Amino acid sequence: MKVIFYSLIATFSISAVAQDSTSRYTKKIPLTETELQRWSHLDLEKDSIPGMSVDKAYAELLKDKKGAKVIVAVIDSGTDIDHPDLKGAIWTNPKEIAGNKKDDDKNGYIDDIHGWNFLGNSYNETLEMTRILKKADDGSEVYKKALADYTKQYNKMMGYKQPVDMLYEADKTIREELKKDDYTLEELKNVSSVKYKLYQSKMILLSYAEDVGEKFREDLTSFKNHVYDNLNYKLNKEFDGRKVVGDNPENYDDRKYGDNKVFGPNKENTEHGTHVAGIIAQKRSNNIGGDGVSNNVEIMAIRAVPNGDEYDKDIALAIRYAVDNGAKVINGSFGKDFSPHAEWVWEAIKYAESKDVLFVHAAGNDGKDIDVEENFPTDSQDKNTEIVSNFLQIGALNYEYGEKIIADFSNYGTKNVDIFAPGVKIYATLPNGKFKYLQGTSMASPNAAGVAALIRSHYPNLKASQVKEIIMQSGTPIDMVVNVGENGEKRNFSEASVSGKIVNAYNALKMAEELSKQPTLEKKIKT
């Protein structure tokens, strides 16, 4: 298929759709609040902001065009399907009768109206390395690495525990003094007392707050949750988060589990999945919240990612569920360092390929080179040779054009990250009608998935493999040395991914238009 695709590309010049070297652009800072809320949709040439040219695509290419409806499966922590900015963009299974407690469409899932919840009432989970250590030491290299990584992570969290406890105790003292649960940095500075404990608490919090800023209490809460989620659940060898689900996660044939409640036991815990869904599908130009990338999609909500590492079995079955129920694009904003049953996931991705479904995946947030280090799932068993043509791996961009254009947390790799998309401070939906900025390759992936959905909506004759190559080939090239990883290693942008480019919706749609017009395209696709 790739040979066919590249021969098609060769039949027309892409100079009209691919921008020249972008070294002439300068950073545009600071961004206004309006620019920040939609920077991922802006255009590098027009706005000096490294967005995906989504607004330009709608203004110049998609005006008065609706396209075909495209189902996008979001495999994640769950989705608040009742969010006002997502209503009208949620998939409904046309073959299932709601509430009759029957499997009307005979797909193996009872009353799966909007998707499926493979986690049931579970939420917290261990990390995969913790699960590996709970098994007997088999002397394998995988076990040894899991032990080394676990020890490092556990010691790190224990090192954080004392300062976070001290900060929270200080916060409690201040709240009691002010007789309120929330207070500002200015109110903290104005606290005055001769009591040593109160003075000490003020100084402890100020040392933290003045570094973090006005949202120091929100940041402190996130810090505490991170530490205690790790110690109580993710790294706790005695914790069993799977028990409530009721299946055997080691038995791939044990498939009768989960339920149809796609937001799980608590909508508040769907923050991640709801945000991802919003990036793709929140309603455009309705003057609330942000704008989705694609205006004609239906989100199939599949809950398979807990607060911890996902199980290979759940991911494999979630992919198959999405494929079998009509999804043409799957977004996977999840990942982990160990995958005991990677073959189950690989076979599921191959199945998606056989059914012409594109799988878009977040590259991960460890700031590492995944050409060298493990990151699952992947489309390669050896980090060199792709085993499928429908897997698109996405790194995260910062909104600052320049040496910091790649987010410092984003994984990278000349062979195993395909392209970059906006992933820092992305504004989108949260549970219960809220909106928020979040960041991660988890946000970059649905930005790219939204562009894929746009292509599949307007050019349904193009195959999943072709959509992948269009996105990669039509991206905006960046020719400069940039920082990669948290330590700021210097690398040319062209060497941080396969394509050396950033996703560009305008260019992608232009290229798709040209390819769809090729008289031999349909014939060659069939062969």
pLDDT in tens, 333-378: 999 999 999 999 999 999 999 999 999 999 999 999 999 999 999 9
Span 17-76, pLDDT tens digits: 444 444 456 555 689 999 999 999 999 999 999 999 999 999 999 998 989 999 999 999
The set of residues, in sequence order, having a beta carbon less than 8 Å from that of 265 and lying 6+ positions away, is 121, 123
CATH number at residue 406: 3.40.50.200
pLDDT score at 518: 81
Domain tally for the chain?
2
User: Of 234, 266, 294, at which residue does a domain stop?
Assistant: 234
H or E segment and range at residue 71: strand 70-76
Integer angstrom CA distances of residue 278 from 298, 315, 428, 431 = 11, 21, 5, 10
Phi, psi of 24, rounded to the nearest 5 degrees: -75, -15
Task: Say what the alpha-carbon torsion angle 416, 418, 423, 427 is, to the nearest 10 degrees.
Answer: -130
Q: Are residues 170 and 70 in the same domain?
A: no
Q: Are residues 187 and 331 in the same domain?
A: no
pLDDT band at 313 (very low <50, low <70, confident <90, very high): very high
| Average pLDDT of the residues in 446-457 | 98
Q: Are residues 184 and 206 in the same domain?
A: yes
Range of the domain at 464: 2-125+241-526
Pairing relationship of beta strands 434-438 and 426-430 according to DSSP bridges: antiparallel
Q: Are residues 88 and 207 in the same domain?
A: no
Integer angstrom CA distances of residue 286 from 34, 149, 200, 432, 518 = 15, 47, 49, 18, 37
Q: Are residues 369 and 518 in the same domain?
A: yes
| Average pLDDT of the residues in 514-526 | 64
pLDDT score at 10: 44
- Mean pLDDT over all residues of the chain? 93
Q: Are residues 151 and 119 in the same domain?
A: no
Number of H helices, E strands in the chain: 16, 13
| Average pLDDT of the residues in 504-510 | 98
Contact of 443 with 396, CB cutoff 8 Å: yes
pLDDT score at 525: 42
User: For residue 401, which of 473, 474, 478 has the smallest C-alpha distance?
Assistant: 478
| Average pLDDT of the residues in 475-502 | 97
Phi, psi of 266, rounded to the nearest 5 degrees: -150, 120
Q: Are residues 196 and 334 in the same domain?
A: no
Entry field: residues in the chain: 527
Is pLDDT above 60 for 119? yes
Q: Are residues 113 and 174 in the same domain?
A: no
User: Of 234, 256, 285, at which residue does a domain stop?
Assistant: 234
User: Which one-letter DSSP state was computed for residue 430?
Assistant: E
pLDDT score at 12: 41
Q: Are residues 121 and 139 in the same domain?
A: no
H or E segment and range at residue 167: helix 141-178
User: Which one-letter DSSP state was computed for residue 386?
Assistant: B
| Average pLDDT of the residues in 67-91 | 97
Span 234-265, pLDDT tens digits: 999 999 999 999 999 999 999 999 999 999 99
pTM above 0.95, yes or no: no
User: For residue 522, which of 466, 472, 469, 473 has the smallest C-alpha distance?
Assistant: 466
Q: Are residues 137 and 82 in the same domain?
A: no
pLDDT score at 24: 58
pLDDT score at 29: 61
pLDDT score at 527: 32
pLDDT score at 66: 86
Span 376-427, pLDDT tens digits: 999 999 999 999 999 999 999 999 999 999 999 999 999 999 999 999 999 9
Pairing relationship of beta strands 297-303 and 501-502 according to DSSP bridges: unpaired
Block residue for tokens 């992933």: 423
Q: Are residues 318 and 441 in the same domain?
A: yes
Contact of 303 with 332, CB cutoff 8 Å: no
pLDDT score at 25: 60
